[in-house]
Amino acid sequence: MTEPQRRPRHLMDPDNLRRPVNDQSLTNVQRWVVSSLAVVTILHLSAGLVLAAIAMPDDQTVPEVGLCVIAGAFGVGAIMSWLAIHRRPLLTPWLLPGLLPTALGLWLVLR
């Protein structure tokens, strides 16, 4: 009786197929990576709006306040994007930290 020929490990063996990969852990990792990138990117935009409000001339208070409010809206949007990617309810108390760019911006602009 002849022994079956051994194939190199990097080649597929049709007689000995591997079991399917568990995609749940890969999906969780992808979800965390995408949500982290989305939140960090949107919060950078929000911080940029606050910096733009600070850099405006002192005689323009209304546009400064407007930029700070828009920065807060983007902050809330960042948290909502995280919640949506992780399939959580969108209206939660976790949206309140999204208003921090508005509070910080108004404090820096109006002092």
Q: Which pLDDT belongs to residue 7?
A: 64
Q: What distance in Å separates the CA atoms of residue 48 and residue 82, rounded to the nearest whole number?
A: 20
Rounded average pLDDT over 66-91: 97
What is the reported pLDDT for 59?
85
Domain boundaries, the chain: 43-110
Which pLDDT belongs to residue 35?
97
- The full DSSP string for 37-63 is HHHHHHHHHHHHHHHHHHHS-TT-HHH
**pLDDT tens for each residue of 38-59:** 999 999 999 999 999 999 988 8
Structure tokens, 7: 């194939």
Residue 104: half-sphere exposure toward Cβ, Cα within 13 Å: 14
**Tens digit of each residue's pLDDT (9 = 90 or more) over 4-36:** 777 666 677 677 777 666 777 878 999 999 999
Total-model pTM = 0.77
